[in-house]
């Protein structure tokens, strides 16, 4: 088995595993990055979103072999408890979650959106989060949190 090399949150990694192994499994069980969640395992819920070369993608359906040489960012790569990313701060400020299980995936989808569209409308935010399911029904607070994060980022937060 040949190792597969890629970057995760800015660090080079090399993983020896079957090329068909889902990236989600690699992140959680080989690299200890458990912020990315397992929900359905069938590309239906969005819990497992990560950025792949800047695009939000579901890591449960992405084979290890397809990420060779790519740049992966997980929720751990956004901010820290001490220095949260503006998206993380906005979700805290808006109390945008109940159980919180969906939030890593939602924040990753929102990050991809705000990176390409700094001032999205509410409809654009909703469309960008279309692949993310929140079973707790926190949708309105989640939309508000993304709007708040967009404002914070436009005002220069997180630089
Ligand atoms: S766990 Fe990947 S989409 Fe649900
Ligand atoms: S906050 Fe519980 S699933 Fe979204």
pLDDT in tens, 100-114: 999 999 999 999 999
Q: Please, what is the average pLDDT of the chain?
A: 96
pLDDT band at 157 (very low <50, low <70, confident <90, very high): confident
Q: Is 105 in the pocket of ligand 1 (CB under 6 A)?
A: no
Which residues face 4 on adjacent strands? 15
Calpha distance 48→108 (Å, rounded) = 9
Q: Does ligand 2 have an atom closer than 6 angstroms to the CB of 41?
A: no
**Mean pLDDT along residues 153-157:** 91
Strand, coil or helix: 22:
strand
Going by their DSSP bridges, the two strands 4-8 and 71-73 should be labelled as: parallel
Ligand nearest to the CA of 99: 2
Q: What percent of the chain has pLDDT over 90?
A: 94
Residue 140 confidence (pLDDT) above 70: yes
Residue 33 has pLDDT above 80, yes or no: yes
Is the shortest distance between the CB of 95 and ligand 2 below 6 Å?
A: no
> Which residues make Cβ contacts (< 8 Å) with residue 17, sequence separation at least 6?
1, 4, 26, 30, 64
- Best residue among 26, 40, 106, 135 to mutate for probing ligand 1, ranked by most atoms within 8 Å of CB: 40
Quick: pLDDT tens for 74-99. Answer: 999 999 999 999 999 999 999 999 99
Q: Find out whether the beta carbon of 101 lies less than 6 Å from any atom of ligand 1.
A: no
pLDDT score of 153: 96
Torsion of CA 121, 126, 131, 132, to 10 degrees: 120
Please tell me the predicted confidence (pLDDT) of residue 159.
Answer: 64
Q: Give the global pTM.
A: 0.97
């Amino acid at each position: 088995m040949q190792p597969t090399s890629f970057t995760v949150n800015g660090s080079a990694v090399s993983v020896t595993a079957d090329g068909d192994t889902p990236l989600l499994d690699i992140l959680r069980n080989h690299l200890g990055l458990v912020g990315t969640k397992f929900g359905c395992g069938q590309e239906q819920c969005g819990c497992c979103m990560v950025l792949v070369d800047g695009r939000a993608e579901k890591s449960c359906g992405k084979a290890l072999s397809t990420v060779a040489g790519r740049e992966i960012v997980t929720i751990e790569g956004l901010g820290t408890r001490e220095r949260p990313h503006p998206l993380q701060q906005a979700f805290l400020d808006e109390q945008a979650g109940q159980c919180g299980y969906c939030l890593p995936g939602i924040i990753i989808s929102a990050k991809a959106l705000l990176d390409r569209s700094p001032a999205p409308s509410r409809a654009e935010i909703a469309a960008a989060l279309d692949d993310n399911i929140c079973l707790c029904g926190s949708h309105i607070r989640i939309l508000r949190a993304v709007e708040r994060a967009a404002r914070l980022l436009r005002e220069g937060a997180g630089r």
